[in-house]
Amino acid sequence: MTDGGCFADDDHCRSGLHSVSTITTMKDAPMPGQCRASLGGTRSWLLILILLLGFCVRLVRLHDKEMWYDEAFAVLYAEKGIDAIIRGTVTSVEGAAADIHPVLYYFFLHSWMRIGQSPVIVRFPSVVFGLLSICLVFLIGRELFDTKAGVLAALLAAISPFHIWYSQEARMYSLLCLLSLLSIYLFVKAYKKGRWLYWIGFGLSTGLSLYAHNLAFLIPLALDLFVLLRRRWDLLLRLFVAHLVTLLLFLPWLVLVPGQFAKIQQAYWVPKPGLTELVRTVIVFTFNLPVPGWLLPLVLFFSLLLLTLTLYRSFKTPATGRTEAKRWARDLCLVLAFAPLLIMFLVSQVKAVYIERALLVCGLAYCIIVAHGLLTPKLPRLVLLSLLPLPVLLVISLGYQYTYSEFPRSPFSDASTYLREHQEHGDAIVHENKLSFFPTHYYDRGMIQDYVGDAPGSPTDTLALPTQQVLGLLAQPDIAHAVDGAQRVWFVVFQRSLDEAAQLGVENATKAWLDDEYRLTHVEVFNDMLVCLYEAP
């Protein structure tokens, strides 16, 4: 099949022509080019409809979903300007960089926010990046298998709860996914065509992806592994040149990467992963998390069922000339879907860096291999019937995802409004930590409030002093300094934080101090976030 071949291959069109020719003249029969044009038009409309669907599901509640800590931080940081962003990221703190992320997304957001800073405006670029990613999924699926696989893979990407979640978030992960997919697409073209233009493009796009997130290196590493597993020694020179282009493009920032990894060594909140995290990731690829508790056994079962079916169909397809020719495409999808996951898992046994959102592009590679498995001929009817609940479960999980408003996405806007309406002159508003302070500050810049800093050197001590200084939002060393003798104190704390202390058999230290020094008079509950009013005795 050519790059633009029809769903069922041109052989089907030609066999149809042969049959028709026995009962009609050739001038009455459709020509192969006409067949391709007709199917090509159908494909175009299908892709347009898929993109419209993807756009619509990414707009749902885009304006009123709560801005959480990471998003609020991105907005507050990006508004400070290019020089301030660089200073707040690379300034050394005990030999480590102040922040662990590259700055491409913050630079982009800084320019984009000249339009405004409402949730819709700051999140909309991620929606666009997500739609472009769907297009690339189609192109990659078509290049690897055929157009039909590309269309189905694009549909799966369009309705993927995992991809929708980060296409609605003012963070760098949707951009990272787009740039990584562009890198993969150019690699596939280079692998098939061998043209230097594609290899150079692959190197450039890989370099850009590294400016989006440091863990972007997992994708080129997986592609290197694929070339080695396929024993394509003839590609090593071209691959080396592509990586050299990546190195030259990324070199200005590369000198800062050791300091950023040193920051990870000092403090990073990610726990060491185990088998649970691997199973979790399989669920995330299919349904995303969180889901309602009652739904968890079902999404676990169907996630594992889909994975098993996909792997079985990938490796047990009857050998034909065509499937043999496409075996490299199957291998590439499997490597892209699972090699970065396993590499990050193994690295995390030494230093935990296992974050599922960095695997967003792997989730879309999984969509492609699932599409290929579902389209493999002679799929038993019983198997197809067993997958029928999947769409219903996807709708339920998406609905829960749209309305989720608990930690760390608690109703900060409502809490901010409540505090503004009930505070009195001289009151102190203190957040137990930065996770509730930054979103609340985003929603009301004029309200004076403070937050208690993380314990130095703790896993949550991720907001370095130079970054705080750039933001102009300095943490208080403890609750006593934050209160500063106020007669009334509004204390904002997550129920989760209190529960974690209780599980350790201790009291939450900040709340315990307030309980000793003040009198608790009222508690307002915002889902799993508490706003406690303390008054001097």
Please name the helix (run of DSSP H) or strand (run of DSSP E) that holds residue 386, with its range, or none: helix 381-386
The CA-CA-CA angle for residues 4, 5, 7, to 5°, reads 125
Question: Which of 256, 515, 295 minimizes the C-alpha distance to 401?
Answer: 295
Q: pLDDT band at 99, cuts 50/70/90?
A: confident
Among 403, 426, 448, the domain-final residue is 403
| C-beta separation of 430 from 486 below 8 A | no
- 147 and 265 share one domain: yes
Rounded CA separation 248/153 (Å): 34
- The confidence score (pLDDT) of residue 40 equals 60
Who's near 348: CB < 8 A, 6+ residues apart? Answer: 270, 272, 273, 354
> Is 90 exceeded by the pLDDT of residue 118?
yes
> Is 60 exceeded by the pLDDT of residue 68?
yes
Residue 225 lies in a domain: yes
Residue 516 lies in a domain: yes
Residue 2 lies in a domain: no
- 309 and 381 share one domain: yes
Rounded CA separation 345/454 (Å): 27
- 390 and 295 share one domain: yes
Residue 153 lies in a domain: yes
| C-beta separation of 299 from 135 below 8 A | no
Least confident of 17-26, 384-393, 413-422, 503-512: 17-26
- 316 and 441 share one domain: no
Rounded CA separation 397/162 (Å): 10
> What CATH number corresponds to the domain at position 507?
3.40.50
Q: pLDDT band at 26, cuts 50/70/90?
A: very low
Q: pLDDT band at 207, cuts 50/70/90?
A: very high
Among 403, 426, 452, the domain-final residue is 403
436-457, pLDDT tens digit by residue?
999 999 999 999 999 999 888 7
Residue 142 lies in a domain: yes
Rounded CA separation 175/22 (Å): 55
- 458 and 529 share one domain: yes
296-316, pLDDT tens digit by residue?
999 999 999 999 988 888 777
Rounded CA separation 90/255 (Å): 10
- Residue at 395: amino acid letter: V
For the segment 208-237, the average pLDDT, to the nearest whole number, is 95
Range 53-57 contact pairs with CB under 8 angstroms and sequence separation of 24 or more = 53/155, 53/158, 53/159, 54/130, 54/131, 54/134, 54/157, 54/158, 54/159, 55/127, 55/131, 57/158, 57/159, 57/164, 57/398
- 471 and 523 share one domain: yes
If one counts every other C-beta atom within 10 angstroms of the C-beta of residue 352, the result is: 19
If one counts every other C-beta atom within 10 angstroms of the C-beta of residue 295, the result is: 15
Question: Which of 165, 174, 171, 211 minimizes the C-alpha distance to 73?
Answer: 171
| Number of domains forming the structure of the chain | 2
- 369 and 471 share one domain: no
- 380 and 361 share one domain: yes
- The confidence score (pLDDT) of residue 153 equals 97
Who's near 432: CB < 8 A, 6+ residues apart? Answer: 451, 452, 491, 492, 493, 494, 497, 508, 510, 511
Question: Which of 198, 24, 137, 99 minimizes the C-alpha distance to 366?
Answer: 137
This prediction has a pTM of 0.90
> Is 60 exceeded by the pLDDT of residue 36?
no
Residue 47 lies in a domain: no
Question: Which of 211, 52, 59, 47 minimizes the C-alpha distance to 127?
Answer: 59
- The confidence score (pLDDT) of residue 93 equals 77
If one counts every other C-beta atom within 10 angstroms of the C-beta of residue 491, the result is: 25
- 316 and 448 share one domain: no
Query: Which pairing describes strands 519-526 and 529-535: parallel, antiparallel, or unpaired?
Result: antiparallel
- 314 and 422 share one domain: no
- 226 and 313 share one domain: yes
> Is 90 exceeded by the pLDDT of residue 525?
yes
Residue 269 lies in a domain: yes
Beta strands in 409-451 (DSSP E): 428-431, 450-451
Q: pLDDT band at 328, cuts 50/70/90?
A: very high
Mean pLDDT, the chain, as a whole number? 88
Rounded CA separation 344/217 (Å): 11
Rounded CA separation 386/91 (Å): 55
What residue numbers bound the domain in which 430 lies?
Answer: 412-535
> Is 90 exceeded by the pLDDT of residue 325?
no
467-513, pLDDT tens digit by residue?
999 999 999 999 999 999 999 999 999 999 999 999 999 999 999 99
Place of tokens 């104190």: 489
If one counts every other C-beta atom within 10 angstroms of the C-beta of residue 192, the result is: 14
Residue 104 lies in a domain: yes
Among 374, 403, 432, the domain-final residue is 403
- 386 and 430 share one domain: no
